[in-house]
Structure 1
């Protein structure tokens, strides 16, 4: 067993280092060639192959595109990794539900072991559910139990199920910008203002799933993590110049509370200010999460980043417990998305951060845009 755990530890360490290397290649500092300069000829060749395959797949998808008898809102991004789609999907689902719409969320379910069309349960132990449905669908179902979450590679079939079983009028297509086989009524594209395009190259040379020109396909662009006015302004000016007339709205992700577990007692921020904590996250760019904790005044003794969607087995648990002992930490803090992937023993001792999407002064304008777009097609009842 010790030998097995040692192997798993090294697998975890290799994945962490490979993920870090890739991110530094995709998002290099200014005037830097990045750490993979020797691999650039190969990566350029692979990028061209990816571009050819992308054009072929998109042409095929457009020919097979089908429409559902509901209003489909797609949330997606241009790059791999996180731009805040899950918090945005929850924000949108809550608004539509509160406005009286019968709404459902459709997700592919990243990392799930089966591909059948299924509804994600809104209760029960999360780790077994993550293995069946993926971490983000499980989190959304847990946070919005009144809005059914359906998973399946074929979003058309998932949508049919949501309409048939829940009479859904509006379908939120999670991570749907590249899913061209399903007709959508509204395409909302999310861009992270901290670094919206990375090095500007396609996978695997860069983080882009599609060329930047694909932004023209979106009905509106949502600039996420828009905390820095200078960076947000720079991105907005670029988009206005390159895509004139495109509606653009800015929002930020605000930590509204820290709590024990996912639904336990809320903990005051003062509770953390003078006691050491260990933070960890297996998300696309964990540094942003760590920085958000520092801004709250949390005293971080250690920060551990894992690959996006990484499972937490014995090796990862041992790494975390070692960090807690060495730092003499009072708290172990992670994201809600990481929480649902944790074994029950770890879930009982971690603190999570609850995020909220905040459009600030632009919220009224974005809601007006959203409601006007839905009203154009009148899927069932007025807003």
Structure 2
């Protein structure tokens, strides 16, 4: 029953903007109007100084978006951490750790050299970032200020990246990067729970730059000065464009999920394969599109709600379903693999699909923008 209600509400949230007033959508519209008004009042209270903003004694870069679901925040955070590290900045990442046991208490997921938490404690995205990033500590905590203080005390970073923190207004940031999915930047234009907006579109004005993700086709040779909605005061915001590039690795039959960190990239010259896809991410359809674009034939799918943790029985069911449609491989995402028991032994090949961010020919302009903003900022004082 609960699952059916959730599915129905999600269909309204992602459905068309227009709907009858006397309907579930109409009821959710009323709630959305209240929610949007409250978030606008809250942002205004921070902006006018009625609510206090705390500072960390280092530079802070926030990565976030306006809508619920995936706009590419995690791959963007990874990209930014790697770039800042290559520029010579001591860097750390702080994430809320949504769904992890350490979300409330806070903690260190990785010290930059080794993992100190599993995905059940850290949450899916922080665990994945910690597994990928080398030399960059990753910490979690609902209170990003306390998590940031812990990062400063343990690792003395020069820059802290806040993952998914555009609405976390109680912590000062030197750069606010706002990500918008080029294919659907504002959902149906309604606020949660009628739509996907976390806050009014006017929240764009807090950003220092807008990054359009999943840009279709060729990336423009230079970033633009934004669109009319993208303003900060009288100035249009810089508008960058990025593409999501699939990164595919393959695990041979007979290995277990413990072997995931050691598996190799799928051979570029491998012939296209028939796969059975399963995932539990914000936009499962995007995963299937990535597989199709990479030349795989998807014979069947099994999708679960975002952040779902798989049971052994569910994995056995997925394997049997794949065999039932004569799929030669299983396919899942890098986020999903962290939520599968380490002892699962895979009887058929498994491909794991991750995503990397590419700014294409705008990379140099983006790096210059980041350096200019960091160079002109002064770290605050711990309070």
2:113 and 2:135 in contact (8 A); partners too = no
User: Which residue, 185, 190, 214 being the options, matches 1:201?
Assistant: 190
Q: Classify 1:303/1:284 alpha carbon distance in 2 versus 1 (closer, same or farther; 3 Å).
A: same
The superposition leaves residues 183-238 of structure 1 with CA deviations (integer Å, 9 ceiling, x where unpaired) of 01100000001111111000000000011111011000000000246xx99xx999
> In structure 2, what is the equivalent of residue 259 of structure 1?
250
| 1:271 matched residue in structure 2 | 270
Does structure 2 retain, via aligned residues, the 8 Å contact 1:130–1:340? yes
RMSD of the alignment, in Å?
Answer: 2.9
Q: What's the CA shift string for 1:289-342, capped at 9, x where partnerless? A: 111111111111112222111111145324312321211222111111111111
Distance across 2 between alignment mates of 1:142 and 1:79: 26
Cα distance in 2 for partners of 1:125, 1:318 equals 28
Secondary structure at the counterpart of residue 30 of structure 2: helix
Does 2:83 correspond to 1:95?
A: yes
Q: CA deviation at 1:21?
A: 4.2
Task: Map residues 48-63 of structure 1 onto 2, 5 A cutoff.
Answer: 48-55=33-40, 57-58=42-43, 63=51
In structure 1, runs of 5+ residues without a counterpart are 1-10
SS in 1 for 2:61: strand
State the TM-score, normalized to the length of structure 1.
0.85
User: Does the 8 Å contact 2:19/2:26 carry over to 1?
Assistant: no
- CA 1:19–1:281: 2 relative to 1, 3 Å: farther
1-structure distance, mates of 2:345, 2:65: 30
Q: Give the equivalent residue in structure 1 for 2:369.
A: 369
1:242 aligns with 2:229: yes
Secondary structure in 2 matching 1:120:
strand
Q: Distance in 2 between matches of 1:70 and 1:209?
A: 28
1:148 maps to which residue?
137
How many residue pairs were aligned?
Answer: 359
What is aligned with 1:286? 284
| Distance in 1 of aligned mates of 2:213 and 2:305 | 21
Name 2:13's counterpart in structure 1: 26
| Residues 343-352 or 322-331, more deviating | 343-352
1:76 corresponds in structure 2 to 64
Q: CA deviation at 1:133?
A: 1.2
Q: CA deviation at 1:378?
A: 5.7
1:266 Cα shift? 2.0
**Structure 1 residue 24: Cα displacement:** 3.6
**Cα gap change, 1:35 to 1:250, in 2 (>3 Å):** farther
Q: For the residues of structure 2 that align with 1:162 and 1:266, how far apart are their CA atoms?
A: 32
SS of 1:112's partner is: coil
CA distance in 2, matches of 1:211, 1:332: 40
Choose between structure 1 and 2: higher helix proportion.
1
Q: Distance in 1 between matches of 2:326 and 2:291?
A: 18
Contact 2:54 2:171 in 1 (8 A): yes
- Alpha-carbon distance between aligned partners in 1 of 2:5 and 2:377, rounded to the nearest angstrom: 47
TM-score by length of 2: 0.85
- More displaced stretch, 60-69 vs 320-329: 60-69
What's the counterpart of residue 106 of structure 1?
94
What does residue 5 of structure 1 align with? none
Separation of aligned partners in 2, 1:306 and 1:174: 24
Alpha-carbon distance in structure 1 between the residues aligned to 2:262 and 2:64: 28
SS at match of 2:188: coil
Query: What is the match of residue 257 of structure 2?
Result: none
Structure 2, unpaired ranges of 5+? 252-259
Pick aligned residue for 2:31 from 39, 46, 57: 46
Q: Contact 2:191/2:198 (CA < 8 Å) preserved in 1?
A: yes
The CA distance in 1 between the partners of 2:18 and 2:41, in whole Å, is 31
Shift of 1:368: 1.1
Q: Is the alpha carbon distance of 1:37 and 1:362 closer, same or farther for their aligned partners in structure 2, counting shifts above 3 Å?
A: farther
Match of residue 135 from structure 1 = 124
Once the two structures are overlaid, the 10-residue window that deviates more, 107-116 or 97-106, is 107-116
Q: Distance in 2 between matches of 1:342 and 1:312?
A: 6
**Cα distance between partner residues in 1 of 2:118 and 2:334:** 15
Q: Deviations over 1:118-171 (max 9, x none)?
A: 100378899x71211101010001100310001011111111111111111100
State the Cα deviation string for residues 29-56 of structure 1 (Å, max 9, x = none): 6xx8579982122112211332343245
Q: Is the 8 A contact 1:262 1:339 kept in 2?
A: no
